[in-house]
């Protein structure tokens, strides 16, 4: 047998050996043995508003492999009764992940459990809530909006103030933002603009002169 044939034979044997050791990587996962939080835990948000990030869990078998097609049941276990999850049941996807949206109620702390039938211990989530701000101040300075992101409740007012020397900026909003929204401003280097928001939603604003100069206002209940 030539050296070339020996090399090919060695590669074949190694491949067969590896395939036999791991089952070719095609063995399906076993039954679920664990459910653990994988996203959305310990968020801080505002009373009576949905959390910005969904809650999610990963369901695993005894070897730590994700298990698809497992029904996860979600429930609020402590906190105000106005807190709720939606949907109350969701199946795991191909990566063993299931998720739900959580709306915190009027309690400071809300706890949510994710349960899988047959498993003794659910996954636990703790979420925290406060009263949303009634106003926000945004400064146009150093060719940026400061802060870049603001939150106010409905009926709250946001004030933008120009403070960047002689540099001129505009304040523009996207046509896809909720209405009513602030009117676009002309180029200016001084002054201020205030607007009271009455519609829940996300408002993305930008300077039409300087690319990358942008910000966001999130209006909550």
pLDDT digit string, tens, across residues 169-190: 999 999 999 999 999 999 999 9
Q: What are phi and psi of 5, to 5 degrees?
A: -65, -40
DSSP bridge partners of 75: 113
Secondary structure of residue 13 in the 3-state scheme: helix
Find the mean pLDDT for residues 153-160: 98
Name 81's Cβ contacts closer than 8 Å, sequence gap at least 6: 105
pLDDT, tens digit, 9 for 90 and up, residues 8-55: 334 333 333 333 334 445 789 999 999 999 999 999 999 999 999 999
Q: How far is CA 20 from CA 6, 15, 26, 167, in A?
A: 21, 9, 11, 69
| From-to residues of CATH 2.60.40.10 in the chain | 34-130
| CA distance linking residue 138 with residue 141, whole number of Å | 9
Residues written for the chain: 221
Q: Which two tokens stand for residue 17?
A: 């050996």
CATH number of 135-220: 2.60.40.420
Per-residue model confidence (pLDDT) at position 120:
94
- Looking at per-residue pLDDT, the higher value among 23 and 216 belongs to 216
- Supply the mean pLDDT for the chain: 90
**Predicted local confidence at residue 25, as pLDDT:** 55
Share of the chain above pLDDT 70, in %: 89
Q: CA 216 to CA 150: how far, in whole Å?
A: 6
User: According to the model, what pLDDT value does residue 124 have?
Assistant: 98
* Cβ count within 10 A of residue 26: 7
- Nearest to 129, CA basis, from 198, 51, 40: 51
Indicate whether 59 pLDDT > 50: yes
Q: Give CATH 2.60.40.420 domain extents, the chain.
A: 135-220
Q: What is the CATH number of domain 34-130?
A: 2.60.40.10
Nearest to 131 by CA among 161, 145, 149, 151: 151
Query: What letter would DSSP give residue 24?
Result: G
pTM for this predicted structure? 0.78
Range name among 14-28, 98-112, 132-146 with the lowest pLDDT average:
14-28
């Amino acid at each position: 047998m030539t050296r070339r044939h020996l090399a090919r034979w060695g590669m074949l044997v190694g491949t067969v050996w590896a395939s036999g050791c791991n089952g070719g990587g095609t063995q399906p996962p076993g039954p679920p043995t664990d459910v653990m939080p994988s996203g959305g835990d310990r968020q801080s948000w505002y009373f009576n508003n949905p959390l910005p990030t969904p809650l999610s869990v990963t369901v695993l078998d005894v070897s730590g492999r994700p298990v698809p097609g497992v029904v996860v049941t979600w429930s609020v276990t402590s906190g105000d009764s106005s807190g709720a999850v939606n949907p109350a049941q969701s199946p795991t996807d191909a990566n063993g992940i299931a998720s739900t949206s959580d709306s915190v109620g009027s309690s400071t702390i809300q706890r949510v459990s994710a349960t899988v039938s047959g498993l003794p211990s659910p996954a636990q989530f703790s979420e925290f809530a406060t009263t949303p701000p009634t106003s926000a101040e945004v400064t146009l300075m150093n060719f940026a909006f400061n802060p870049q992101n603001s939150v106010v409740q409905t009926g709250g007012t946001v004030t933008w103030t120009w403070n960047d020397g002689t540099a001129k900026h505009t304040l523009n909003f996207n046509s896809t933002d909720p209405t009513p929204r602030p009117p676009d401003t002309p180029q200016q280097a001084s002054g201020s603009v205030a607007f009271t928001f009455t519609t829940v939603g996300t408002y993305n604003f930008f300077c039409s002169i300087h690319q990358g100069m942008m910000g966001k206002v999130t209006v909550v209940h």
